[in-house]
Amino acid sequence: MALRKHRIEELLNITEKLNHIKDIDALLDLILYEARSFTSAEAGSIFLREGNFLKFSYVQNDALAKIDETNNKYIYSIFEIEINEHSLAGYVAKTGEPLLIPDVYQLKETSYQFNKHFDEIAHYRTKSVLTVPLITSQGTVIGVMQIINKKSKDGRLISFTKEDMRLVNFFANNASVAIERARMTREIILRMIKMTELRDPKETGNHVNRVGSYAIEIYDRWAKQKHIPEKDIRTYKDTLRIAAMLHDVGKVAVSDMILKKPGKLTPEEFRIIQAHPVYGARLFSDSVSDWDTLSAEVSLNHHEKWDGTGYPGHIKNIYTDPVQIGPGKKGEEIPISGRIVALADVYDALISRRVYKEPWDEEKVLAHIRSESSKHFDPDVVEAFFAIYDVIRAIRAKYSDEENP
């Protein structure tokens, strides 16, 4: 009984942590991580509801992480399940009841069957599964969480318990409230980006979703290489994604006569475009949160270059008008957020189709990035980018501009 009380207290502490997360993906990551640690589960995934479907939204798998450094790519898998009684997740979403199954390959007389799709692509064997609905306080099912393969202290696969089910279900209800809030934040961000898109058609929702995801994945790799503690990496990624998505919102302050001008810009027009990082920094300058601070930092630094030939350079006062473009910042004078988003943004611009250009060949893009290491880009960032290139590709597929990815 004392043990049970202790576990409930632990759960309440975890729930409190969820309220400090802003970004939806960072939140799903934390929810899964905590639910898994709490029940000693090796893997898990979250599906969020869209209409009558459950969209695969997040996954973690410790066993795969050990053998495949780019296993984060599975986070960006795209598949969906119809909400009906034929699948585990669909059944749980439909009925709102949790399900506890000791071995999903041994299901016989049930309406639902286990979908082996993920096991097959990842070469994994799912055994025990606990599936709980994500239900808001209004009683709406917004998704489903599955946690997979509970392990005993000595590493054997065992079944989840009824108590695991009750506690995880309780946790999932609290998590749902946080998920709804974070989803709303993401929508507001995307609306800000739509405003930028009206000015500059290059800044589309897909482009910024890709840049945000590339940025956090490159950062993750870079930070692990630098032995930054896991907890700090998580916190930083929470703000970095949003900040990276907003890298070009400063363009709302540049006239579309200039942004949409066909042909060559006059030197004066070019100077105005070069001021967009500073305009962006102004938008976030009365900093009320670490999110504003980082968004201002990314905006101000995403056109700097490692060798000092970028812009706008050192700006004494971001409010001085007209903006004085100075000598570029060099090397580590450029904050890491700016060094990462610079690469993410350029990579995406080159490899995507844009109104004025065809996509470059992948080979050509990669050769270009390699040749710009230590010139345009921080060599360590370039190295991190290539180390996780499979993940980069998965992100591109998930947020593809083409009709049928």
In the complex with Fe ion, which residue's Cβ is closer, 29 or 248?
A: 248
The least CB distance from residue 5 to Fe ion, in Å, is 51
Segment holding 354, helix H or strand E: none
In the complex with Fe ion, which residue's Cβ is closer, 94 or 199?
A: 199
Stretch that binds Fe ion, among 109-117, 172-180, 215-223, 242-250 (CB under 5 A): 242-250
In the complex with Fe ion, which residue's Cβ is closer, 112 or 377?
A: 377
Q: What are phi and psi of 141, to 5 degrees?
A: -80, 115
H-helix segments, 40-116: 62-67, 88-95
The least CB distance from residue 241 to Fe ion, in Å, is 14
Six token digits for residue 25:
């993906």
DSSP secondary structure string for all residues of 137-205 = TTS-EEEEEEEEEEE-TTS-EEPPPHHHHHHHHHHHHHHHHHHHHHHHHHHHHHHHHHHHHHH-TT--H
Per rule CB under 5 A, count of chain residues that contact Fe ion: 2
Q: Cβ atoms within 10 A of the Cβ of 65, count?
A: 15
What is the torsional sign of CA 242, 229, 34, 19?
negative
In the complex with Fe ion, which residue's Cβ is closer, 345 or 378?
A: 345
The least CB distance from residue 210 to Fe ion, in Å, is 9
In the complex with Fe ion, which residue's Cβ is closer, 34 or 248?
A: 248
The least CB distance from residue 103 to Fe ion, in Å, is 48
> Is residue 264 annotated as a catalytic residue, yes or no?
no
Task: Write the binding mask 126 to 145 for Fe ion: x where contact by CB under 5 A, - elsewhere.
Answer: --------------------
The least CB distance from residue 345 to Fe ion, in Å, is 4
> Residue 97: CA atoms inside 13 Å, Cβ hemisphere, count?
6
**Interatomic CA distance for residues 304 and 316, integer angstroms:** 16
In the complex with Fe ion, which residue's Cβ is closer, 90 or 277?
A: 277
**Could you say which of 42, 197, 248, 372 contacts Fe ion (CB under 5 A)?**
248
Stretch that binds Fe ion, among 22-30, 38-46, 247-255, 355-363 (CB under 5 A): 247-255
Residues 331-370 that bind Fe ion (CB under 5 A): 345
Q: Tokens 């749980």, residue?
A: 92
Stretch that binds Fe ion, among 153-161, 184-192, 246-254, 369-377 (CB under 5 A): 246-254
129: closest CA among 154, 92, 178? Answer: 92
Asked if 401 contacts 203 with a C-beta cutoff of 8 angstroms, the reply is: no
Six token digits for residue 318:
């971001």
Q: What are phi and psi of 188, to 5 degrees?
A: -65, -40
Six token digits for residue 234:
């998580």
Of these residues, 251, 260, 305, 375, which one is catalytic?
A: 251
Tell whether residue 217 is a contact of Fe ion (CB under 5 A): no
The least CB distance from residue 250 to Fe ion, in Å, is 7
Q: What are phi and psi of 99, to 5 degrees?
A: -130, 135
**Interatomic CA distance for residues 339 and 342, integer angstroms:** 5
**Catalytic positions, written as ranges:** 251
Name the site residues for Fe ion (rule: CB under 5 A).
Answer: 248, 345
